[in-house]
A and B are shown apart, each in its own frame.
Chain A
Amino acid sequence: MKTNTMNAAEFTSQGHWRTLAACAACMLALMGCHPDMWNQPRFAALQKSGFFTDGRASRDPVPGTIQYDGQRRPWKSAVFEGISGGQLTVPSIMDDTFYTGRQGEGFKADNYFPVSAELLARGRERYDVTCTPCHGFAGDGFGVVTRRGFPNPPSFHIDRLREVEDGYLFDVMTNGFGRMYSYAARVTPEDRWAIAAYIRALQFSQYAPLDTVPADVKEAILNPQPVVENPADSSAAHH
């Protein structure tokens, strides 16, 4: 009996310590004290590294590196696979026209891809993302940044730009022009071709020959009806 007994104060204090220890363990577990698994010894994209003198973990290709043509990257968007006739990868790096917009001495006159609704839809999406800050949604050169002090780029709806080749538009996106920086690192070549196709559609939307308009729409354009501002007023006029 004597061996099993203990002081009451001793009993409670020991109980407390056990509870406390258990709780502390639980809390530490909850707080996740495993930084070794959390941050594993490998580098993520754009991470800092003390190993290289420039402090970057991501490395540039060695100067003079030539892209190997054997394994080309796949299309990033299935759109182009369909448009280019089920081709699974982007064209060979040897295909200058695809990567530069040039053909022979000058620029490729028409688009690299056959123009389709899918190509235009892709071009519109990428144009809206990439080009509208300066060129505006209508291509008139009044994008949002021009209101913040960026000089207006030329409108697409001028004769000079209506007459240039698709390959020229591609070349400007690729190499930049005047104050416009190159978009080669931000927009893939296939998307630049799609944007060129969409710019053509934008130009057409503001400069369509009357003969290409369907007959009923043509009639409405040639004999415009007076615009009725308020339907309530017009019904009152009938009485």
Chain B
Amino acid sequence: MAQVFPRSANVLVRAGIASSVLLVSVLTLVAAGMYQSPLVNSMKIAKAQPIPFSHQRHVGGNGMDCRYCHTSVDSSNFAGVPPTETCMTCHSQILTDAPMLQPVHESWKNGTPIEWTRIYDLPDFVYFDHSVHIAKGVGCTTCHGAIDQMRLTHKATNLYMGWCLQCHRAPEKFLRPQDKVFDVEWKAPRNQIEEGLRLVKENNVNVGQLTNCSICHR
């Protein structure tokens, strides 16, 4: 009986196996690349806003505190997007004729809210509370990046669970003293781990509990 497969079939099978392995690795790499890509996590992409509000001007330039506008950040889960009244507190006097501020004046006149485009959006199955992070010494820039240098606001971190866990597993690497939480120029000191461990103890951070699923998925 003649052989079913010709000799050349060996080459085909080997090539098939090799190319399958290659394909799997390539696809894995592509998937990993996409996972880190701004196309998927929209990191570092400034989005258009009704008013080209610049944190660089207000925070970096004017040295305003985060809490002037985000008033509920230290007392509630939501930091708060300022109402038009907050803008108008200064802009009833400053840059009153600037075309870029027209939406603010219209909103003030008509009582219609300004529709800002959301930058940081956690999935609805994640429980997050700003106030507890502030109270325990997580600084604004730890998650929001160099906000004082952003002309248009972008997402500075990918907000993946792995990213959250970096701090939930080892908060001592990130915690700051209470008076530095809103300091946009804060840099970790040389003895950060030592300082961080002190803050973990001082602020009663129960590190073991921070990686419980139900801490964030409740």
The chain A residue sitting closest to B112, CB to CB, is A54
- B23 near A30 with CB under 8 A, answer no
Contact of B24 among A9, A23, A39, A77 (CB under 8 A): A23
Interface size on A (CB < 8 Å)? 43
Q: Is B63 an interface residue (CB 8 A)?
A: yes
**Chain B residues closer than 8 Å to A26, beta-carbon distance:** 27, 31
Contact of A30 among B12, B31, B81, B125 (CB under 8 A): B31
Contact of A42 among B34, B63, B124 (CB under 8 A): B124
**Chain B residues closer than 8 Å to A20, beta-carbon distance:** 23
- B24 near A133 with CB under 8 A, answer no
- B20 near A15 with CB under 8 A, answer yes
Which of B89-97, B150-158, B163-171, B198-206 lies at the binding interface? B89-97
Asked whether A5 and B4 contact (CB < 8 A) given A19-B23, A186-B86, the answer is yes
- A145 near B90 with CB under 8 A, answer yes
Interface size on B (CB < 8 Å)? 45
- B68 near A46 with CB under 8 A, answer no
- A144 near B63 with CB under 8 A, answer yes
**Chain B residues closer than 8 Å to A15, beta-carbon distance:** 16, 20
**Chain A residues closer than 8 Å to B30, beta-carbon distance:** 27
Contact with B along A95-138 (1 / 0, CB 8 A): 00000000000000000000000000000000011100100000
Contact of A38 among B28, B86, B124 (CB under 8 A): B124
- A179 near B20 with CB under 8 A, answer no
Q: Is A238 an interface residue (CB 8 A)?
A: no
- B20 near A181 with CB under 8 A, answer no
Complex Cα spacing A198 to B71, Å: 20
Q: Is A45 an interface residue (CB 8 A)?
A: yes
**Chain B residues closer than 8 Å to A76, beta-carbon distance:** 75
**Chain A residues closer than 8 Å to B68, beta-carbon distance:** 129-130, 133
The chain B residue sitting closest to A1, CB to CB, is B4
**Chain B residues closer than 8 Å to A37, beta-carbon distance:** 123-125
Which of A82-90, A146-154, A167-175 lies at the binding interface? A146-154
Shortest 5 CB-CB distances between A and B: which pairs? A12-B16, A40-B124, A23-B27, A129-B65, A8-B9
